Structure 1
């Protein structure tokens, strides 16, 4: 997912109910899948990078 779609999913001045929850859930799910696949392939550096990305993501909150 590109950043422009993610940026539109965040809360703006419209409020809590304007959030596109499906888009956010898809992004987090795909990121978790990428972490799982990297772990299965013993790509430890990639796992750490993706985990940091997940932790710093506002979508994960």
Structure 2
């Protein structure tokens, strides 16, 4: 984690990456919804998000 004084600066690249990733993956998400349905696609998206967050928190807790 960034020191308290640098958290705003550290958050900027993270937020920028999140916005860019949202734009880049939008088309893939729409195709997945058309092919597999909204519920199935949503479950996969949620599981991916929870899994990634869990890994990030575990890694941060080790430090």
Q: Is the structural similarity TM-score above 0.5?
A: no
User: How high is the TM-score relative to the length of structure 1?
Assistant: 0.43
Larger Rg: 2
> Which has more helix, going by share of residues?
2
**TM-score (normalised: structure 2):** 0.42
